Structure 1
Amino acid sequence: MNVPLAAGNGRLKDIRKLSRRSERSERRLFLVDGPKAVEGALALPGCVVEVFATPAGAGLVPPSTEVTLVEDRAMASLSDSVSPAGVVALCRFVDRPLEHVLDGTPRLVAICADVRDPGNAGTVVRTADAAGADAVVLAGHSVDLYNPKTLRASVGSVFHLPLAVEPDPAAAVRAARAAGLTVLAADGAGELDLHDPAAADTLAAPTAWLLGNEAWGLPEELAALADHRVRIPIHGRVESLNLSTAAALCLYESARHHR
């Protein structure tokens, strides 16, 4: 058995620099933490560059996986988890150009505009995966897709469906419409009620849901580009719903109509 690498190893020091977003973006590499996430990365051809594990964690990856052993202290320096599971993978970026993720005949897409919270962004990716969506687009000044908290909240779904990062939210909306999708803006003041039978035909069409920032929603000029604005009915006294909850309701309502 190979001698585990220590925390002071030069290669590990270089990999630890990926904790910075600028370093990740420049090198288009990121770290994914935990056996489930690593398993998902390994299932995506060409994604994984190298797998690191402690001697105890080596048994948590598929038996045929080549593993570089590291000491426990070295693993702690690679993982952002309070209690590292013992396995981390160095991966290549998985996002693709916008036109590629919208290629073909997509039926359901989520466009997140200026979504800043990594937990929300990751949960939207996970929910889109569960709802059978064809793609997720992080647009504008959205949180880094490769932020460890975003990855953790996605629970491996970043490896399951096409993802795009688009600096211009309006460009994402225009591309979705060009791909034959009806763009629906999730808006508390929308003219359509998500549960109104009159909205059934609209929801049954190939759809891109446009989701806004947690605090201020969608800018008026962006919402105006949508084909319709759709509100989620609120029957109690709360003013609004959490972004990831709203996304789940919208995506699943579309999935229900599509099926």
Structure 2
Amino acid sequence: MTALSPGNARVKQARKLSRRSERSERRLFLAEGEKALAEALSVPGCVVEVFATADATARLRARYDDPSLTWSVVTDPALDSLADTVTPQGVVAVCRSVDRPLDDVLGSLGDARLVALCADVRDPGNAGTVVRCADAAGADAVVLCGHSVDAGNPKTVRATVGSLFHLPVATEPDAAAAVAALQRAGLQVLAADGAGETDLDEAADDELLAAPTAWLFGNEAWGLPVELAALADRRVRIPIHGRAESLNLSTAAAVCLYASARAHRP
């Protein structure tokens, strides 16, 4: 079999998915690496095509012996043109988008207990790490709202370490509408806010966290807008016992999500 070069039409079409506009229009994204491929293949119908070098094909193809799977051998330069990492693992999958509108996700969840709501989270690594933390904490879904990065951003996909394929990821362009939708679905919305009136430790002690909860997290640089935080049922601050000014977004999300997870599993 002749390996596809960077100039091959299918390779060129896949390479365009590095742009958000292309991902949005075609509802496709790229998942790089063996771990991402394995997790994407666990979702029926998710993988459209696999591009792999000859070495990666020799190592992996027999493991995924599915005649319906389109597997294309590519040259190293072609694979490099598709990969987002400095040292690619030799395989990139074209996947169907896994994110869905918030109303669709809420309609499929039933009685959700824990949701992470990211408002205007621009850093793809942070967004991906929040998805990973939410998955680890047993959350029901993650919502990317406002002007947040898209779930198919290559750095976001990589930062989830496969968790992107484990739980629903919802989108909602209007952050205030997302807060209202989650409240209508029966979840209290707790805004993670350094100036919050409620201490996280106190919230755990008074059983506030035992209720179904959507944690609202803001932008990495400027946090939550005052008007958006005001829509939450409560603003909760994480206590800082040392001299650090604050916690970064993904760390704060992990602390809050696990506090709720503990309260939900007495």
CA shift, 1:240, in A, is 0.8
Q: 1:200 touches 1:257 (CA, 8 Å); kept in 2?
A: no
Task: Give the SS at the match of 2:78.
Answer: helix
Counterpart for residue 234 of structure 2: 228
Counterpart for residue 177 of structure 2: 171
Q: Alpha carbons of 1:199 and 1:56: their partners in 2 closer, same or farther (altered >3 Å)?
A: same
Q: 5 Å matches for 1:195-214? A: 195-196=201-202, 199-214=205-220
Deviates more, 1:63-72 or 1:183-192: 63-72
Counterpart for residue 60 of structure 1: 60
CA shift, 1:199, in A, is 4.6
CA shift, 1:144, in A, is 2.1
| Number of aligned residue pairs | 258
The Cα RMSD (Å) is 1.2
Deviates more, 1:169-178 or 1:11-20: 11-20
CA shift, 1:200, in A, is 3.6
Inter-partner Cα distance in structure 1 for 2:215 and 2:29: 28
Task: Give the SS at the match of 1:195.
Answer: helix
User: Which runs of 5 or more structure 2 residues have no equivalent in the other structure?
Assistant: none
Inter-partner Cα distance in structure 1 for 2:203 and 2:194: 18
Q: Does residue 1:19 correspond to 2:31, yes or no?
A: no
The one-letter code matched in structure 2 to 1:10 is: A
Inter-partner Cα distance in structure 2 for 1:27 and 1:50: 14
Task: Give the SS at the match of 1:145.
Answer: coil
User: Which runs of 5 or more structure 1 residues have no equivalent in the other structure?
Assistant: none
Q: TM-score, length-normalised on structure 2?
A: 0.94
Q: Alpha carbons of 1:199 and 1:191: their partners in 2 closer, same or farther (altered >3 Å)?
A: farther
CA shift, 1:102, in A, is 1.9
Deviates more, 1:68-77 or 1:122-131: 68-77
Q: Per-residue displacement from partner, 1:73-92 (whole Å, max 9, x unpaired)?
A: 11111111111101110011
Inter-partner Cα distance in structure 2 for 1:197 and 1:187: 13
Q: Does residue 1:116 correspond to 2:122, yes or no?
A: yes
State which of 96, 101, 104 in structure 2 corresponds to 1:97: 101
Inter-partner Cα distance in structure 1 for 2:264 and 2:187: 13
Q: Alpha carbons of 1:71 and 1:206: their partners in 2 closer, same or farther (altered >3 Å)?
A: same
Q: 1:131 touches 1:255 (CA, 8 Å); kept in 2?
A: yes
Task: Give the SS at the match of 1:106.
Answer: coil
Q: Does residue 1:69 correspond to 2:73, yes or no?
A: yes
Inter-partner Cα distance in structure 1 for 2:203 and 2:19: 48
Sequence identity, in percent? Answer: 70
Q: Alpha carbons of 1:47 and 1:63: their partners in 2 closer, same or farther (altered >3 Å)?
A: closer
Q: Does residue 1:106 correspond to 2:112, yes or no?
A: yes
CA shift, 1:99, in A, is 1.5
